Copies of this chain bind each other. A is one copy, B any other.
C-alpha cells in the first residue's frame, strides 16, 4: 500500500525540510552551464541535477515547458528524469499547468498520474479556468494513485490579479472560491486529513491573505528567490499552516551550478532557512 502524497511529503519534510527544487533548464541556463542548448545538453542537465538533488532535498519540480522546447527528445529526457528521481526516492511535482474538459482531461491525467503514466509523477499542476468540476478526471486519478493535484489559484505575477481577484456570483473572489471548492473535494475524498487536491499559492501577494486552513490542502509556493519572495514571506503567507507549504525555488539554486557540490550547498542553505522559518 502506497502512502498518500501528504504523508510522503510530511516524511520528506522531516528529513530534508519542505523545499522543492525547480528543475527549469532554460536555454540560457544550459548555455551558462556550458552544456549546449540542445537535447543532448538537456540530457546532461538531467544527469547533473539528479546527482545533485538525491540525498539533498525531498522534492523536485521539473517545469515541462523547458523540456517541450526540445521536442520529443526533450520529453524523453523529462520521462527519464521523472523515473530516475522517483527511483531514488525523490517526490516529483511536474509543473505542466494542464487543463481542459471531459475526456481530454482524462487523457492528460493518464499522461501524468498513476503507475501506468509515461510521465507518472507524484503531483501535477493544473489550470482552473474551465472550472474545478471539469478537473474531476485528474482528481479521481490523483486520489486513486495516491498522488496530488495542485490547482493554480494565486500566481506570483501582478498580471494574474485581474482574473484571480475577480468576483464570482457568490461574492467570493475567484481564488477564494477555488479554495472553497478544493476544501469540498478534500473533505469528500479524505475526511479529517490533508486531501489529494492542493493549490498553487504565490507567497508574495501580501495585500490580501487567503483563508488557507479550511482547504485541508497542501500548498505549492513557487518563485522563492528569483521571483522575489523570501523564506520570511513564505512564513508570513502560510503562518496558519506552516507544515502544509512546499516552497519551490529554481533559478536561485540552479545559478550555483553546474558544480554538484555548489548545487548541494545552495540547496542545503535554502532548505535550512526554510526549515527554520517554517518550524511549527
Contacts and interface: CB of A to CB of B under 8 A. Distances in A.
A108 interface: yes
Contacts of A76: 72
Contact of A157 (B27, B71, B101, B111): B101
Interface string A101-115: 111110110111000
Nearest to A164: B129
Given A71-B118, A111-B69, A130 B157 contact: yes
Nearest to A116: B69
A71 B133 contact: no
Nearest to A132: B159
A70 B72 CA distance: 11
Interface string A166-178: 1111000110010
A155 interface: yes
A128 B101 CA distance: 16
Given A129-B128, A131-B162, A98 B100 contact: no
Contacts of A98: 65, 97
